[in-house]
A and B are shown apart, each in its own frame.
Chain A
Amino acid sequence: MSYPGLELYKKLYLARRCEEYIVKYYPQNDMKTPMHMSMGQEAVAVGVCHAVGSTGLVLATYRSHAAFLAHTQNVPLFFSELYGRVNGLANGKSGSMHLADPDHGHWGSSGIVASTIPIALGLAFAQKRKNTGATTVVFFGDGAIDEGSFWESINVAALMKLPVLFVCEDNGYAVHTPSKKRHGYDSIVDIVGQFRCATFSDDSNDVESICNMTQQALSIIQAGGGPVFLHIKCYRYLEHVGINDDMKDAYRPVEIQEAWLKKDCLVLQRLRLINEQGVEEIVIQQLEEQVETSIHHSIVAAKQYSSPDPSQLFHGVFYEEN
């Protein structure tokens, strides 16, 4: 692709459309797994993962559809896993909350808040020992920074100058509780900046800005400057868990939602492609159709696989030599 912004748009579109398909098909009750949707927040995952590239090691949370798809683009096995099929990423054992695909640089997700943050330290430590130059990226929400484990991890990463990129996806809420009701401080960035850890922040929802910011962060890490912390504001479109809009619950102000919808990351990037980068609309439409077709095929294919045989329950508790 000759336009750099087009590849970013493609990843945004992939993440968004995959989730729109989930919204469409979830009511058929064949994806029996709790869904924590990324919808609305895709610019963070796409901007960061694009900058990090395929050599990066990614860790994420239960809300990691976008990060998973942006980094691995493994749509077929993603859907097979959500459908609980035998050919899924974990043969149906993980579901939506614990996506992992080490062949494509995705080292795991977790349903326990903040629990992948310290794992990033060890991954990075191992990479440093092996001298690979690779960066480990860990995504987590603003709720995760309430946990002691986050603070312990920032400290260790700064102390040991580990090549870790900490990415706080701040959608303003932990379930239904806003950050200001959970935080006894105003600026996380100011505090993390007191560690030997560079910080960047963004509230643009603009995938290119996030990608550029990540590139700057990576150059610090790769120069041996230790960890970097990115604080990126974003907005979750749907309910905390599930596929529905939850504005009726009235815990989030409508004006704030409207402001975020106005800067929807797909809309922003699509407009930029046309208005600033001279991409013809037809080119974008073709790309969209291509993505659409690939998602559609992945879903059809996933559904044709069977679920694992019950005997599979006992397989894989321990590593065993074949």
Chain B
Amino acid sequence: MSRMITYRDALVEAVTHEMRRDSSVFVYGIDVADHKRIFDSNKGLLEEFGPNRCFNTPLSEDAMTGFGLGAALNGLRPIHIHMRVDFMILAMNQLVNMISSFRYGSGGRFKVPFVVRAIIGRGWGQSFQHNKSLHSWVAHIPGLKVIMPTSPKDALGMTMAAIRDDNPVISIEHRWLYDALGAVSHTAETQPLTGAEVIHPGNDITILATSWMNIEAKQAAEVLGRRGVTVEVVDARSISPFDETVLVESVNKTGYCIVADNDWVHCGFGAEVAARISHTCFGRLKAPVERLGFAPTPCPCTRPLENAFYTGATEIIRTIESMLKLSPTDLSGEHFFSYEKKFKGPF
């Protein structure tokens, strides 16, 4: 039995479920307990669990990350939230110099069950300080797990699994996904923290996508599907550790691979994927792996440049056409996603 819920409600359900199950879980961060509750992803937590388990903090990201480490070492299970990934940058010292290596550096005597939820912003001129993803930054560091749930099923199940995991897990959520509806099982179930998943089956070409780029890739697959080109879309789900089994199987079948990453291309996750695929599927590849992502610039404010900065379904379609040597599809009648149907402004 399944039911449909939004990504936002999946997050609420995951955290509520885990907080009921385990009294050591608590949620904290800047503005987590104000009336907006981080885009309503913390709805009801303060009411049900009280201010000891859901609280606002001063604007002190690095110190409050160290706070989380201390609490985790001492038997609690903190969930620290950043309204934008960009603000998590202020916490890099604690995340990268302390949390990532604390267990290893103690010879395994400590464990650090610590979850960071950080949100990717995009659109309405939020520009260069409110739009980063940074999953490849943190995924580069051994000792940090990095996930990017895309579906409500994963927002629910991976968040639950992250809270139960005895290691630091950074969950990077795209703001635009919050309203996405999807099926989840009747009872809340955890989902594995690693392992890619085929979200749209096909035989002609494989797209590995992260976060929001899955939505774009699926749209591209639907458009090309009408021409008889079948595109397999694989959701990476986790960035670190990244388990390539499902992707390798897909590329061995299609012979083509595009990585559509919600990030800059240079030194990004796509480079890691391309290297692994080139290594593992070398003889099967009919063309080099292609990578798509942000333009190599800071994100500008004004709309025409903001539009040019991001890649979407159109660029994916054009890349597929060029790899498969197809004539260009007429896209004039297509209605691709426009966030303005949902919201104006960053909040």
Contacts and interface: CB of A to CB of B under 8 A. Distances in A.
Interface residues of A, number: 46
Given A146-B59, A308-B302, A317-B296, A112 B309 contact: no
- The A interface is mostly helix, strand or loop, or mixed, namely loop
A176 B345 contact: no
A285 interface: no
Nearest to B129: A111
A95 B125 contact: yes
Contacts of A249: 35
Contacts of B87: 112
Contacts of B58: 146, 182-183
Nearest to B87: A112
B303 A32 contact: yes
Contacts of B59: 113-114, 143-144, 146-147, 174, 182
Interface string B288-319: 00000001111011111111110000000000
Given A92-B305, A308-B305, A313 B62 contact: no
Nearest to B83: A175
Interface in A115-144: 143-144
B49 interface: no
A307 B126 CA distance: 17
A95 to B, nearest CB: 3
Interface string A140-184: 000110111000000000000000000000000011110001110
Interface residues of B, number: 42
User: Which of B56, B57, B295: most chain A CB closer than 10 A?
Assistant: B56
Interface string B16-37: 0000000000000011001110
B298 A317 contact: yes
A272 interface: no
A92 B34 contact: no
Main secondary structure, interface of B, reads loop
Contact of A97 (B57, B129, B308): B129
B10 to A, nearest CB: 25
B60 A148 contact: yes
A111 B127 CA distance: 10
B173 interface: no
Given A144-B59, A148-B60, A242-B345, A313 B301 contact: no
B344 interface: yes
Contacts of B304: 84, 307-310
B261 interface: no
B63 interface: yes
Interface in B304-347: 304-309, 340, 344-347
A182 B124 CA distance: 30
B175 interface: no
Q: Which 4 A-B pairs have the closest CB atoms?
A: A92-B302, A84-B302, A95-B301, A33-B125
